[in-house]
Every structure is written in C-alpha cells, then in structure tokens.
A and B are shown apart, each in its own frame.
Chain A
Amino acid sequence: MSVETSKDVERFPIPNPGLEEHVERFTDVDKAAGDRAYHQIVMMLASVPVLAIAFVVVYFAVPKETYLSVFADRYNAQNLLLGLTGGLAVLLIGVAVIHWARTLMSDEEMVEDRHFAASPDADREEIAADLAWGIEQTGIARRGMIGKALAGALGVLALPALVPLADLGPWPTAELRKETIEKTIWAPGMRLVNDVTYQPLKASDLEVGQLVNAQPEKLHDLHGTAFQVEKSKSSIIIVRMDPNTIKIPESRKDWHVGGILCYSKICTHVGCPISLWEQQTHHLLCPCHQSTFDLGNSGLVVFGPAARALPQLAITTDAEGYLIAKGPFTVPVGPSYFERDSSLDFKEGDQ
C-alpha cells in the first residue's frame, strides 16, 4: 500500500480511507445465478461453430447476384448473410468471454505500488561513468578530428541519399510549365464539341439560358493518361445569355458569338470542375467549395474562396456555323501556383 507523506496529509483534508469495501456480486452469493451465467457463456460459445458453418454454407450456396429486400432497401444477400453469420460469431466470442470475466472471475481489486519514472541517481551516475569511460576509450578527446570528420561524413551522406529523389517527377522549369500546366490543346479553329457525344456544336443549337459542358474536338484522339491530363485542363462550359443583360468589356467584344460565351470549367480555387448554373443571375457555382463566378461579367468571382476570374476562351464560328476557338486560353487555367503570373487575369474594372 501507499506510504502517506506529510505532503499527502496537507493535500487531503479527508484522510485516505483506503480501498472501498468489496461488494459481492449476485453471481458470487447465489449459486443459481452463477450457474445461469455459466450456461449463458457456454451457450454463446456453442453457437459460434454453428454460425461459422453457416458462414461457409452461405459462401458456397448463396449466388453472388441475389438481392434481399430489408426495410425497403436492397441488400446483396451474400454480403449480408456472410456478414451477419461471421459478425455474430466473432461478436459472441467477445461477449461470452467478457461475461465470464465480469460474472465468474474474481472481482477483488488489487493494489500495486508505482515506481518513479526516473532512474535512481545511482543508476544515472553509473551510466554516466560508463559512457565517460567509453568516450575516454575512443580517444576522441585527444584526437577530436575523428569525431568531426565522422559527423561531416555522415552529414554529407544525406546528399547521395536525397539526390536520387530529384527524379520523382519532371522539374517544372519555366519551359516545362509552358508545355504542361500553362498549356491546353485549344488552338485557333478547334471545334467545341459536346462533353459526352463529341458532336460539334452550332451556335444556332443553343438557347438563351442554356449551358453546355464541352471539350476541344482533339480530346477525342487522346487516351489514358494523356486524355485525363488534358481533360483536367481543357474542359469548358458554353453558356448563351442575352447580350443586353450582360457586361462585355471592350477588350472581349469579339470573344463571343451573339451572347454565347465560353469559359474554363476548372475552378481557379483548387481545380474542381464547376457546374452549378443559375440561369437568371448568370452565376456559376462550384459544388466543391462554393466559389461563385459571374459569367455575365467576364467570369469574375462574386463569392467564395476563389480569388481569380474564370479564364474565358475567345470563340467564333467557322464557315459551317460550328463554334470554334479563336485561339488558346490567354492565361493558365485551373488553380493557382507560385510561379503563375496572375497580372493578365481579368479583374474588376478592366475594359
């Protein structure tokens, strides 16, 4: 038991009464209750093999594509039954063993003394002496350059260890950035095609208030990684608004076709594809973080965490009346990065 110090007496206005009296459980005093607990435990453990066998039967006998309707929801029968049999089997082992511990094993509390976490002073002195002896043995005190040389040698080893990581990815130098994150496949004359069907779009197909998700025609030729990378940058939205209800700045008066405007679909915040369109306000809302852009005002941010306007793509029509790009995006699309020169983005008040 604990030793009470004078500090303890000061600390405890009521003296420590020692452990509370042990109260016997029902199962300790009543043999019938003890036997009942015993039977319960054995019954629980005895049902585990039954459930385990049921699990195996379900595995082989229940077809994969059978569905059960439980509480108006459809459950895959095999998943449900495997889980119920396996889960109950595992659960019952736990319940049985804890029931055993709680009802039949002794519940007399025990007391154990603690030791201080710290080593006794004598141990510390002994270790310190041993270490001092060892250091003495190395002779490093007299020949100090060995230690410095070793530390230096180990430190320099970090270089060969870390340098091979330089090939984790290509280096985003100015040239590489121009070819990657600052470039899309949009080019003069490239048709704007429907995002799903890849059908080219005619100006006359779009009604006022309509929004179409679109892609560059050339995207269709790409596959695999190249396709995903390009789609992450080149995706666009085309909206048709009444030209009289929107602001078109002087510098962008040739960028639209009769109120049909085209913007990057990639949010300037962290790059989600923006898609929630409010037809009457001309606002476009990003479903990820709710940045809101005014497509009737050059894509300026009206709300939310995004800081830059959505890049606009200048479009026109070709001889057959299909919408085509007049050129690439004038600024990099997508989220910000450190080296991005954001002075060219459209800002409030620009003309």
Chain B
Amino acid sequence: MAEPTTVSSTSPALDVKTPEQPAGINKLAGPATWVDDRLPLASMFKYKNKANFYVKKVFPDHWSFLLGEIALYSFIILLLTGIFLTIWFKPSMAEIEYEGSYQLMRGLPMSEAFASTLALSFDIRGGLLVRQIHHWAAMLFVASATIHMLRVFFTGAFRKPRELNWLIGVGMFSMSLIEGFAGYSLPDDLLSGTGLRFVDGLIRSIPLIGTWAEFFIFGGEFPGDLVIARLYMVHILLVPALLLGLVVAHLALVIYHKHTHYPGPGRTDRNVVGYPFFPIYVAKAGGFFFIVFGVSILMGATMSINPVWKFGPYNPAQVTAGSQPDWYMGWVEGAIRIMPNWEWHLAGTTWSWNVVLPGMGLMGLLFGVLGAYPFIEAWITGDKNEHHVLDRPRNVPNRTGLGVAGMTMYSMFWLAGGNDILATQFKLSLNQVTEFMRIAVFVAPVIAFLITKRICLSLQRADAERVLHGSESGVIERAPDGSYSEAHVPITNDEAFTLTQHEQYPALQAGPSLDANGVRNKGKGVSALRARASRWYFGQEITKPTAAEIEQAKHHADEDESTKALGH
C-alpha cells in the first residue's frame, strides 16, 4: 500500500521565492545581465589601460579620416545590394530568346546572363535602382579607397608600426580591381564582352604559359560557355570573402594601434586626442554610414550608370567607338594604348611585349612599388621609431614629391586611356596625342616631383618664418623717416608648437668600409648607396627653428617694440 506523502515542515518547496530583480535602474539591465552571464562583455569592453577596445576608446577627428570610412561603408552597401541582385541574376552563357518586357530586344538571341540583367532592369520593381546603387557604390568604393591610400601615403601613416596594415590595404586595393572587373563582366553586354575579349588577349600574351592560362580560365577558346559562371564565383564568393577578411584585419589593426592624429597642441606620439567611441563615434560613424548609403541611393535614382540595354548583347563582331573600361582600369588601358608595338618572333614563338608589359607588368609594378615603399623609406631614413603623429606633407618634401610624381604618372596613363576621346573632343590628332603621352608618362612625373618638392620647401620656409617673426598683420606702418613696413603679430603658442613639432633626422653616414682589423665590413653598418640615398632624402630640408633662435627672435621683436615706444 502506498503511504500518503508526508511533507516536512522544513522543505524548501514551501519557501516562497521571488526571482532576483536586476539592481540597475536601466530598462536594458535585464537583457544585458542575461547576455553578460553568458558572454563576459563587460569585462571585454571596460576601460583598462591596456585593453584594445572599450566603450570610451578615443578616436581623433579629421575629415581625411572619413575617406577610409567611405570605402568601408561602400563595401557594406555592395554586400547588401549584391545579395539582392543575386536573387535574380543568372550567371549562365546559355543562349535563349529574349521574351521580357524591353520591346526593342524581344526575339533576339542572347545569353541568360544578359536576359536576367534586362529582367532586373525592366521587370523587377526596384531592380534597376539596386543595380545602379551597386555600380555607383563600386565606383565610390574604389575611389574612396584610392584617396584614402593617398592620404595615408602623404601623411606617413604607413610608418612603423603600421606597415602591415599598409600591406593589407595594398592587397585590398589590388583585389578591388579584380572584383570590379569581374562585376562589370557579368551582364554579358556588348561592352563587358569587349572587356573580356581584351582580358583574353592580355592573358594570352603572357610568355610561356599564356595559351594555357587562357584555356584554363575560359574553359577552352574565347568566349566559351564557362567564364561568366566562373567570374560570378570570383565576384560573389572568392574575392568578397578575402576582402571581408582583410577588412576585419584592417580594422582590428586600427583599433590595436589606435588611430594616428595630426600634429597639434597636446598631441604626441605617446597619446591619442579625440572623442570617445561611445557615444560620439557611434553617432558620427553610424550616421555617416547612413549618409553614404543615402547618397548612393540618390545616385542610383538620378544618375544612369551602365545602361546595358543600350549596348545590346555581346557580339564578337561588334564594338562601339569610345569603348572604355570602368575608370579605375583606365590607367592600364592607357598603357596598353600608348605602348610601342614591340613583339619578338623567335623560333616559332611569339613574345607580346606590347601587351604583357603594359598590362601585367604595369599592374605588378604599381602594387609592388606600393607594397615596398614603407620598407624602402625606412631603409633610407634608418628610422626605427613608432610614429603616431602624422606628417604634414610639406615636412617630407621628397616623399610628397614622389607621391605627386606617382599620381602624375597614373594620371598620364589614365588620360592616355582616353586618347581617342581627347583627340575628338579637342580636335587633335589621335597619333599626336598618343606620341605625346608616350613621352609625358615619363617626363611629367619628373616635372611634378621637382615642382612639388620646391613648393614643400617654400612652405617649410614660410612656417619657419611664421614661427620666428609671427603673422603678417596687414597693417602697414610708416616710420618717421618715411619708410614703410608691415607689422607682424606673434602667433599663438599652440600654432608655434604645431609648426615645429615634426622630427628632423640627420642623413645616414656610410660606415667605414674596413673594420678595426682591416677586414672588409660587408653587410654591417650603412652602405655607401644607402648613405647617398639618405643624403638625397634629407639633404635639402629647411632646418626648423631651434629654441634659441625663437628666443632670440622674440627678444629682437621686443626690442623693436620698445624702441618704437620710446619714440626713437
């Protein structure tokens, strides 16, 4: 027989228990506690001197720091709009007869890729808008990344400890060109097919392996039926995944190294001055994402881009005059156009230097030089310090000169990519434009370097002048003897500090070629070449005023004042 259950008077089941109430006053405290019980977010984000990321982490403020942000946000916009496009786009080169709503092409044979691009443009509501946002965001992405790199270059932000992040940036930059090219090849319209035809010629021209590379990439002869599906994989999976990984690494390093800041009062290599991540940058950077997105949408709404229905489906026997790639490939296009027609015909083989040098060679050269630059500069300067205060470009005349020379060379190649447009628009001879550009790509950078360096040195002199003698007041005084002079007013201490904050290095000296025992000093010390490079790099800089000089100038000015006051 079962016994009746007995309940002990001390059983905990009898206790009345209310769940613990969160102690916080905040409404979010409940959920936050729930999360923190499982993930120790509070410990991760609390302020600790050595923590890498916390709620109040300080970021400096400057408009030029927004350039990289634009690139980041465009990338996010590209991911979002890209997902929408993949829902309808068909990456197939199979031939079908068009039966969509664009009357002018009904009944035409075309690839499924092109037909589905037309469907996105005409049949799916909002499809054209998203297509255009996607293309404009791609333009913004490459443009802002390019300008961001220029900012980093000219301010010396690539110096120690940020060389790795510069290399990641160069990697992302090169990948974004591949990504862009793969993207505009997908619609399989006349223009993108022409671009692919060009790339086919480019790949073929590689010595030794060109034909094999062509057959492997296109799955046989051009155009074949595979390349769009393969480029689709590259465009939506391979490169975006790599880019995303590099973006994360890039940002993680920015957080770890803390952002650089411009020179100014209170700013040093040992601190960072700015505003806290929360709430200021959550609002500013978050708000800026919406601004970039909003502007991209407005561009997609009002500015037509890549109207493939005007070009028609790809036809290997047609091309439009004025065919050009998207702007960021323009420099390669220009190099291809102005290259002399050098080709070797040796023992039954063909070496197409006219295609492979300007195509593959130039791209390799740009990315190689960009990647190597921080290390070359460190080798020349012998500088092993960490740098967190940015350079004002004028204070590094040779770097600034080299940067402007590089930009000029890029621009000349880029302009050469539109040699036909230049010729028709300005009523010039196409042949003369081409010949001119062949010379300009080499001469213009030299001129740009010399001019830039002189401007930098002049600006340095002006800075020194300003520190020593103050700012021109605009007041012309007439002395009793009839002479005129302009009075100078002293600049603020803050400004004087900003103008004299940059470091000036001595040029490296070559070490002795023989050591104390008369043995050749190979591989040790500074080589003669390195010393020469260093002398060239630092040789002509304007020495910034010393404390004694400033003191003396101040004294001098005071004397002037007192003599005036005495009426002498």
Contacts and interface: CB of A to CB of B under 8 A. Distances in A.
B313 to A, nearest CB: 10
A340 B301 CA distance: 49
A322 B320 CA distance: 30
A82 B133 CA distance: 12
B294 A301 contact: no
Contacts of A128: none
A273 interface: yes
A76 B265 CA distance: 54
Given A180-B221, A305-B339, A335-B201, A11 B503 contact: yes
A225 B274 CA distance: 60
B217 A168 contact: yes
A133 interface: no
A338 B209 contact: yes
A289 B497 contact: no
Interface stretch (B139-147, B177-185, B480-488, B539-547): B539-547
Given A113-B271, A223-B95, A343 B434 contact: no
Interface residues of B, number: 132
A341 B346 CA distance: 8
B535 to A, nearest CB: 22
Contacts of B322: 287
Interface of B: 49-50, 56-58, 93-95, 101, 109, 122-123, 125-126, 128-129, 132-133, 160-161, 194, 197-198, 200-202, 204-212, 214-226, 256-258, 264-266, 268-276, 279-280, 283-284, 286-298, 300-302, 314-323, 333, 336-343, 345, 348-352, 354-355, 358, 386, 388, 419-420, 430-431, 434, 467, 493-494, 496-497, 500-501, 503, 544-547, 549-550
A24 interface: no
Contact of A289 (B125, B272, B302, B336): B336
A273 B320 CA distance: 10
A100 B315 CA distance: 54
Contact of A308 (B202, B271, B272, B343): B343
Given A114-B272, A340-B349, A340-B350, A94 B204 contact: no
Contact of B497 (A17, A81, A340): A17
Contacts of B339: 305
Nearest to B504: A11
Contact of A82 (B126, B200, B291, B545): B126
Interface string A104-126: 01110111111111100000000
A12 B503 CA distance: 8
A83 interface: yes
Nearest to B271: A2
Interface string A165-196: 10011111000010011000000000000010
Contacts of B95: 223-225, 227
A284 to B, nearest CB: 13
B316 A228 contact: yes
B268 A235 contact: no
Contact of B430 (A229, A273, A290, A338): A290
A19 B265 contact: yes
Nearest to B320: A287
A16 B226 CA distance: 64
B301 A105 contact: no
B522 to A, nearest CB: 30
Cβ-closest 3 pairs across A and B: A83-B301, A91-B294, A270-B201
B289 A94 contact: yes
Given A101-B287, A272-B197, A338-B211, A91 B222 contact: no
Given A224-B225, A272-B319, A79 B129 contact: yes
Given A91-B298, A336-B205, 5 more contacts: A11-B503, A86-B301, A101-B287, A110-B274, A339-B349
A59 B271 contact: no
Contact of B419 (A13, A111, A181, A290): A290
A306 B354 contact: yes
Contact of A98 (B256, B291, B338, B343): B291
Nearest to B131: A79
A11 B293 CA distance: 44
Contacts of B501: 11-12
A37 interface: no
B257 A117 contact: yes
Given A82-B129, A169-B219, A338-B206, A90 B294 contact: yes
Nearest to A275: B319
B216 A168 contact: yes
A160 interface: no
Contacts of B133: 83
Contacts of A91: 290-291, 293-295, 297-298
Nearest to A232: B316
B291 A95 contact: yes
Given A17-B493, A101-B283, A337-B211, A304 B547 contact: no
A213 B317 contact: yes
A52 interface: no
A13 B544 CA distance: 9
Interface string A1-44: 11100001001111111111000000000000000000000000
Contacts of B500: 12-14
Nearest to A8: B268
A88 interface: yes
A335 B200 contact: yes
A2 B270 contact: yes
Contacts of A54: none
A334 B350 CA distance: 13
A102 B279 CA distance: 11
A109 B273 contact: yes
Contact of B317 (A170, A235, A269): A235
A46 interface: no
A90 B290 contact: yes
A78 interface: yes
B302 A83 contact: yes
Contacts of A165: 216
Interface in A226-284: 227-229, 231-232, 235, 265, 269-273, 275-276
A104 to B, nearest CB: 10
A95 B287 contact: yes
Interface string A306-323: 111000000000000000
A338 B205 CA distance: 7
A288 interface: yes
Interface string A37-72: 000000000000000000000010000110000000
Contacts of A291: 341
Contacts of B275: 107, 109-110
Output the residue of A80, A110, A115, A195 with the most chain B CB within 10 A. A110
A121 B129 CA distance: 56
A147 interface: no
B446 to A, nearest CB: 24
B220 A114 contact: no
Contacts of A339: 211, 348-350
A86 B268 contact: no
